């Protein structure tokens, strides 16, 4: 992965689109996060592939119905972890290590407070929740069973995001890659044993997910408290686990920066509920193909794991040092770098769309649908390179509202109306159509889902307003307050 990114970065440097030294620095920080993303998204894809091979398209649909609920853990944890990387990167750049430790602990307290009630709800009412969006008794039963068990891992998944973002904010993407990729390997191994060996089906997939998240959490706690981990190495920062664990000022900063990111993540996650309900109107086979395509797109979207967070960390450090002009140039270059990588990946997957689809389904009625959806996913994922690269500087500066607005507009004003028009004779206000578009509407919705946020987020980045906003979150500003 490092070789691939460096090769693309050097080509861009020769074209004058990015500074060669910055390309290497971005690569060093981004590639471990991308590998982490590949490992974790491969785990999610393996869940779908394994239950599909063992139980059929009904199980794929069921796990697909449960996925948005599990995604709420990442919407909540990832949102407040976005505040963590903003605060940590600026404090790390200013050598304010005491305030860095407090920011990490405060983020963990906030994440635990918001994810625990969600986990309880999932465990107590899984069937009722899945029934809100699912169709067909078999997929609903599979989805409820999976959600009931996987609920136990929700708080741990959120806390792991805080730990990971802390290290990335301190210029260390290697350690979280090792820990979270290792957790993904444990997850896939347990899934294979429990699904095929023990015959536990979707319960086995859920148990593997919970155990892996608990193991990764334990490793983060050990590393942050001891300063290092056996076989992994030293942590760049340590966290004093003694009090105070949070202050009102730190909670204010975490909430102020994190809540818009939570809404941004939740907007995407919450939109999956009505989206899956709409897709369900097309039947179980279309749901299975749609779920597979989204898993493949999530795998292709893993460069955002690296570029977005590398941009947040590197731009945040420049802002912390007071160099706004260099922060802006760095943001522009990382966006160009990101888009080039997405084009290369999407092109390769597009060529292999049919054999990739065959890894998930063998049913001749489902395979052509799956291939078509994967091809459309290749087009739509390229725009994620723009939105992810532009979101990084906004997150680093604390200007986190506009990514939320972008998601809200793209999903609820465009994507869902277009998808619904494929299943019913209703007008689509944004494009003026009045007749059903059929399954082609789902293809169009997948593209619009990423295109609109890319346009809106890049516009905000291009205005440069985020540089001024960052001034109120810099360490000297906090100390002055």
What is the distance between the alpha carbons of residues 433 and 313, in angstroms, rounded to a whole number? 44
Backbone angles phi, psi at 161, to 5 degrees: -65, -40
For residue 25 the two structure tokens come to 């620095």
Asked if residues 224 and 235 have their Cβ atoms less than 8 Å apart, the reply is: yes
Q: Any idea which residue has 């369900």 for tokens?
A: 280
In 3D, which of 40, 304, 313 has the Cα closest to residue 172? 313
What is the distance between the alpha carbons of residues 4 and 30, in angstroms, rounded to a whole number? 12
In 3D, which of 353, 54, 121 has the Cα closest to residue 62? 54
pLDDT of residue 430: 43
The helix-helix angle for 57-93 and 126-133 (nearest 10°) equals 100
Asked if residues 404 and 264 have their Cβ atoms less than 8 Å apart, the reply is: yes
E strand segments, 206-279: 228-229, 233-234
pTM higher than 0.75: no
Domain edges within the chain: 2-476
In 3D, which of 289, 305, 314, 310 has the Cα closest to residue 342? 305
How many degrees, rounded to 5, is the angle at CA 244 between CA 241 and CA 247? 130
For residue 297 the two structure tokens come to 């797109």
DSSP 8-state symbol, 471: G
What is the distance between the alpha carbons of residues 438 and 457, in angstroms, rounded to a whole number? 30
Asked if residues 276 and 15 have their Cβ atoms less than 8 Å apart, the reply is: no
Q: Any idea which residue has 């946020």 for tokens?
A: 453
Q: Any idea which residue has 């996060």 for tokens?
A: 33
pLDDT of residue 39: 77
In 3D, which of 119, 134, 220 has the Cα closest to residue 177? 220
What tens-digit pLDDT sequence spans the chain (481 residues)? 889 898 998 999 998 888 888 888 888 888 877 887 787 787 778 778 888 777 777 888 888 888 888 888 778 777 787 777 777 777 776 666 667 788 888 888 888 888 899 999 999 999 999 998 887 788 899 999 999 999 999 999 989 988 888 887 787 878 888 888 888 888 889 988 998 888 888 899 899 989 999 999 999 999 988 888 888 888 888 787 776 677 787 788 788 888 877 877 777 778 888 888 888 888 788 888 898 999 899 899 989 878 887 888 788 777 877 777 878 888 888 899 999 999 999 999 999 999 998 888 777 888 889 999 999 999 999 999 999 888 888 877 777 788 888 988 998 899 999 888 876 644 444 443 334 467 888 999 999 999 999 999 999 998 888 888 777 765 654 444 4
- Which class for 331: exposed (0-12), middle (13-18), buried (19 or more C-beta within 10 A)? buried
pLDDT of residue 148: 94
What is the distance between the alpha carbons of residues 203 and 40, in angstroms, rounded to a whole number? 19
pLDDT of residue 97: 64
Q: Where are the alpha helices (DSSP H) in 409-480?
A: 416-421, 440-463, 465-470, 475-480
Q: Any idea which residue has 């861009």 for tokens?
A: 12
Backbone angles phi, psi at 229, to 5 degrees: -130, 140
What is the distance between the alpha carbons of residues 215 and 202, in angstroms, rounded to a whole number? 20
Asked if residues 12 and 336 have their Cβ atoms less than 8 Å apart, the reply is: yes
For residue 394 the two structure tokens come to 């906004």
């Amino acid at each position: 992965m490092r070789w691939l990114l460096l090769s693309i970065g050097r080509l861009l440097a020769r074209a004058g689109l990015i500074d060669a030294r910055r390309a290497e620095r971005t690569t060093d920080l981004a590639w471990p996060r991308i590998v982490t993303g590949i490992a974790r998204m491969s785990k999610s894809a393996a869940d779908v592939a394994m239950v599909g091979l063992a139980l059929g398209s009904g199980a794929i649909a069921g796990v697909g119905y449960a996925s948005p609920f599990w995604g709420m853990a990442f919407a909540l944890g990832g949102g407040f972890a976005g505040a963590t990387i903003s605060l940590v990167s600026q404090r790390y750049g200013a050598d304010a290590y005491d305030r860095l430790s407090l920011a990490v602990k405060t983020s963990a307290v906030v994440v635990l407070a918001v994810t625990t009630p969600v986990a309880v709800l999932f465990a107590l009412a899984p069937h009722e929740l899945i029934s809100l969006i699912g169709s067909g008794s078999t997929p609903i039963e599979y989805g409820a069973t999976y959600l009931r068990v996987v609920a136990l891992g929700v708080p741990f998944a959120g806390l792991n995001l805080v730990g990971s973002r802390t290290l990335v904010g301190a210029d260390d993407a290697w350690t979280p890659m090792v820990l979270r990729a290792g957790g993904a390997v444990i997850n896939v191994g347990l899934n294979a044993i429990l699904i095929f060996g023990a015959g536990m089906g979707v319960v086995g997939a859920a148990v593997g997910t919970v155990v892996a998240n608990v193991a990764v959490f334990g490793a983060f706690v050990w590393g942050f408290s001891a300063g290092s981990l056996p076989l992994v190495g030293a942590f760049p920062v340590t966290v004093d686990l003694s009090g105070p664990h949070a202050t009102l000022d730190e909670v204010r900063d975490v909430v102020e920066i994190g809540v818009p990111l939570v809404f941004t993540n939740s907007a995407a996650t919450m939109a999956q509920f009505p989206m899956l309900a709409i897709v369900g109107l097309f039947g179980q086979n279309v749901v299975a193909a749609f779920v597979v395509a989204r898993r493949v797109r999530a795998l292709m979207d893993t460069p955002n794991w690296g570029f977005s967070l590398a941009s947040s960390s590197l731009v945040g450090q420049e802002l912390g040092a007071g160099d706004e002009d260099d922060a802006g140039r760095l943001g522009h270059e990382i966006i160009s770098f990101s888009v080039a990588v997405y084009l290369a990946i999407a092109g390769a997957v597009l060529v292999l769309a049919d054999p990739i689809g065959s890894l998930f389904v063998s049913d001749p009625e489902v395979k052509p649908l799956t291939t078509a959806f994967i091809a459309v996913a290749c087009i739509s994922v390229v725009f994620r390179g723009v939105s992810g690269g532009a979101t990084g500087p906004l997150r680093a500066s604390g200007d986190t509202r506009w990514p939320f607005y972008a998601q809200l507009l793209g999903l609820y004003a465009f994507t869902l109306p277009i998808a619904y028009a494929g299943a019913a004779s209703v007008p689509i206000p944004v494009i003026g159509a009045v007749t059903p578009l059929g399954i082609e509407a789902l293809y169009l919705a997948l593209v619009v889902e990423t295109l609109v946020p890319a346009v809106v987020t890049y516009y905000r980045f291009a205005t440069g307003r985020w540089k001024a906003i960052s001034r109120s979150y810099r360490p000297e500003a906090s100390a002055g307050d």
